[in-house]
Copies of this chain bind each other. A is one copy, B any other.
């Protein structure tokens, strides 16, 4: 059923609607708390009916505490000549994320202690945050910073940091079993596209695609602020976390790089095998070893949880200059690449759903396929020779020890053909589930 739907989906068209959603989300000023997150989730709810959870500031979550909530209305610097620069309304990156409010006159030397820029890329605005040390600050192109003249500057940040809540979204698609597949993305970045509007729109589109299918696993989608969000979710959902059998952190999926899959902490879980299988023929795709650094896989893969959660990206984390700058904008991602990334995830779900261990009910000698019409069972779409070999491979290795993916790797026959052969063998009574 999933296979048929998989063939029907038009990934080019999905790519375009994902890109449009990214355009709409782009201007919102998100952070790890605050109204930007709420507004974002409310837009996503137009597509999938996700649940929104609010956790009050001060709540203890694992070794951490939910911080005060940050909101901002406006921010700018007025030069000695009266010009407004670093204007929050033009780009929310201009403000140090989680900046405390300020409204005062400072001289240039003092101002510079609060300015951030990137000398190597003098046209770009950096993205900087200070969640846990109360500071104020502005980010601007290095060229602009260099040209600032002596004199008094008016600085204004109309923000507030006070008790409120941390907000996240969650969407569950119940399946045949309570065993879960997790897709997680972070929603705490302001006007940045690859990191991580790409993850948000792909998770949303994937959820929309899966929500009406009959699925074996239950699927959980998390739209959470990075680090503190996953820590908060894990803290409140230890029992649910233990049901997660496969998971992927989705990030950096809209650019034009080859795929980079980062393995789970154990490096040999089923999702690791599945992603390695799917990427083996992708040009220049790379498998990365686990490291306790990066996105929320750090938390899901902490030793006390040790969940089988990998991370799928295009650009490798932290290894591209546009990372955390204004250059990670709507030009840096494309509908086409978002569509291809979605396609990879749909294929992953297809293998996750289909990968089982079966039992051959006639394991002694080969069963006579001819008398069961199995040599003729095949449709025009499938390669006949591969299908016959698929029957033999599935029968021989369906001993309760080998999964269909194991058989795909041994036989070098495509997983989908093996799945088709498996379905025919189940219908004919030769295979039974383990």
A366 touches B299 (CB 8 A): yes
CA–CA, A230 and B364, complex, Å: 11
B364 touches A304 (CB 8 A): yes
Contacts of A62 in B (CB 8 A): 362, 364-365
CA–CA, A341 and B208, complex, Å: 63
Central interface residue in A64, A301, A364, by most chain B CB within 10 Å: A364
A389 within 8 A of B: yes
B362 touches A63 (CB 8 A): yes
B132 touches A302 (CB 8 A): no
Quote the shortest CB–CB distance from A304 to chain B (angstroms). Answer: 3
Which of chain A's residues 332-372 have a Cβ closer than 8 Å to chain B?
Answer: 360, 362-368, 370
Which of chain A's residues 361-418 have a Cβ closer than 8 Å to chain B?
Answer: 362-368, 370, 389, 392-393, 395-399, 410-411
A292 touches B365 (CB 8 A): no
Contacts of A238 in B (CB 8 A): 364
CA–CA, A116 and B83, complex, Å: 91
CA–CA, A304 and B64, complex, Å: 54
Quote the shortest CB–CB distance from A359 to chain B (angstroms). Answer: 9
Contacts of A305 in B (CB 8 A): 364-365
Quote the shortest CB–CB distance from A149 to chain B (angstroms). Answer: 35
Quote the shortest CB–CB distance from A339 to chain B (angstroms). Answer: 34
Quote the shortest CB–CB distance from A399 to chain B (angstroms). Answer: 4
B292 touches A395 (CB 8 A): yes
In the complex where A132-B370, A234-B365, A365-B234 touch, is A360 in contact with B396 (Cβ < 8 A)? no
B365 touches A304 (CB 8 A): yes
CA–CA, A356 and B235, complex, Å: 30
Q: In the complex, which of the residues B231, B234, B366 contacts A302, with contact meaning CB atoms closer than 8 Å? A: B366
Specify the chain B residue showing the minimal Cβ separation from A232. Answer: B365
CA–CA, A265 and B407, complex, Å: 13
Query: Do most interface residues of chain A lie in helix, strand or loop, or is the interface mixed?
Result: loop
Quote the shortest CB–CB distance from A272 to chain B (angstroms). Answer: 15
A293 within 8 A of B: yes
Copies of this chain, tallied across the complex = 3
CA–CA, A365 and B291, complex, Å: 14
CA–CA, A362 and B305, complex, Å: 11
Contacts of A293 in B (CB 8 A): 389, 392
Quote the shortest CB–CB distance from A222 to chain B (angstroms). Answer: 14
Q: In the complex, which of the residues B234, B265, B360, B397 contacts A364, with contact meaning CB atoms closer than 8 Å? A: B234
A289 within 8 A of B: yes
A94 within 8 A of B: no
Contacts of A306 in B (CB 8 A): 399
Central interface residue in A292, A298, A362, by most chain B CB within 10 Å: A292
A303 within 8 A of B: yes
Contacts of A291 in B (CB 8 A): 393, 411
CA–CA, A265 and B392, complex, Å: 13
Contacts of A411 in B (CB 8 A): 291
Quote the shortest CB–CB distance from A120 to chain B (angstroms). Answer: 18
Quote the shortest CB–CB distance from A349 to chain B (angstroms). Answer: 27
Quote the shortest CB–CB distance from A59 to chain B (angstroms). Answer: 14
Contacts of A302 in B (CB 8 A): 363-366, 395-396
Quote the shortest CB–CB distance from A404 to chain B (angstroms). Answer: 15
CA–CA, A397 and B289, complex, Å: 14
Quote the shortest CB–CB distance from A373 to chain B (angstroms). Answer: 13
- B interface footprint on A218-254 (CB within 8 Å = 1, 0 otherwise): 0000000001001100110010000000000000000
CA–CA, A389 and B294, complex, Å: 11
Q: In the complex, which of the residues B63, B289, B367, B399 contacts A368, with contact meaning CB atoms closer than 8 Å? A: B63
Q: Top 6 A-B pairs ranked by shortest CB distance?
A: A304-B363, A304-B364, A292-B396, A62-B365, A303-B399, A292-B392
19 A/B residue pairs, CB under 8 Å, sorted by A: A63-B362, A63-B367, A132-B370, A231-B366, A234-B364, A291-B393, A292-B366, A292-B396, A293-B392, A298-B366, A299-B366, A302-B366, A303-B363, A303-B396, A303-B398, A304-B360, A304-B363, A304-B364, A306-B399
